[in-house]
Chains A and B, each alone.
Chain A
């Protein structure tokens, strides 16, 4: 896409690192864990934390922190890709699969709007949250998830750019129609597939 005439930067060699075929186009590998957020980091004490799923029929399913921790836990190891061009391979998390949280939820909605403590929102098709594709995680690399990385708990949807993996997640609203979230109304792509390099609106 784009560059038909290729622009070479004279004298640039680059540092190649072999990531095999695990690095989406335009991404580079990092070993550390950069942070991207639009504002200050909210602090949510676990005793005030709750997670909710609100259906299009007006039914709300809620979990307190102890209830959430009592659910079956999974330990996904996944590659993550941030729209600011870094990717991190083999990150390990612990949390609850969205399939578990959706077990008792009746819905025919096609879209989800994820909302967070602090007011952040992000949207995605509901099917991108199901079938083993997404988790609500509360541990990273064997440790409690730090507030700046979204603790107490964040969404993890590793097959989309990482801004979809909402930090400080508070709930998911199910909708019949798509409702663009925070970055999605600020020039970023509505879906955000790193393998198709859907960074910005129109990509």
Chain B
């Protein structure tokens, strides 16, 4: 039987993604590898023994004993401000995983894929995009990325570079840059109808982000005729309303 153990994880580097999010690169001796879409549990222990843990998606493909997470600073959060602001190279947390055998994409699957990200929900979907590229997969991918404005894009340079077979559309919710004809606003039926795949192509759909976003996007996909069993979701929280 497989057992998920806590492993020491040392921060070896970090990159800011936006003003409020950063990617953290950890060295985790003994890391068993993972699939795109899976997440880990991160545990923090204070000097006096107080502990707490949260879940974070893996941002990249398996890479030996290194794992990358991208964390958004949640104001007044207990864990995310530590990971995004306080933690420095050489500091440690504990990590266990990989967790989740459902919200995953495997490179031997060449069906069309629709990725629908809301904010930090891009993280596990980026792992799928990177895994696809690394494996030389020809599965056609479309990414719909809903975010506040152009300053909120994670992995901006990488997503701008051409990646044959991957189409990226940005859906700005607060402020659209000049030249973008779609008015800023929440994800709508037309966004999924235009930027996604017709339901008749039976794509595998992966939807990830805050709960409200995931609820809305998954409902729209159903309304467009996508089969419920082809829609996989990951809800990051917080409220269900």
Mark A residues whose CB is within 8 Å of B.
Answer: 2-3, 5-16, 26, 28, 30, 32-42, 84-86, 118-119, 146, 148-149, 182-183, 185-187, 199-203
Contact = CB atoms under 8 A, between A and B. Distances in A.
Contacts of A119: 228-229
A14 B52 CA distance: 8
Main secondary structure of the interface of A (DSSP, over half): loop
Nearest to B9: A7
A182 B232 CA distance: 13
B48 to A, nearest CB: 9
Contacts of A11: 82, 86-88, 91
25 contacts: A7-B45, A7-B94, A8-B45, A9-B93, A11-B91, A12-B45, A12-B86, A13-B46, A28-B53, A32-B239, A34-B239, A37-B235, A40-B219, A40-B231, A41-B215, A85-B54, A85-B55, A119-B229, A146-B241, A185-B101, A187-B99, A201-B2, A202-B1, A202-B2, A202-B4
A39 B6 contact: no
Place the interface of chain B in its size category.
35 or more
B91 A9 contact: yes
B41 interface: yes
B233 interface: yes
A200 B101 CA distance: 11
A118 B219 CA distance: 13
A43 to B, nearest CB: 9
Interface string B86-104: 1110011110000111110
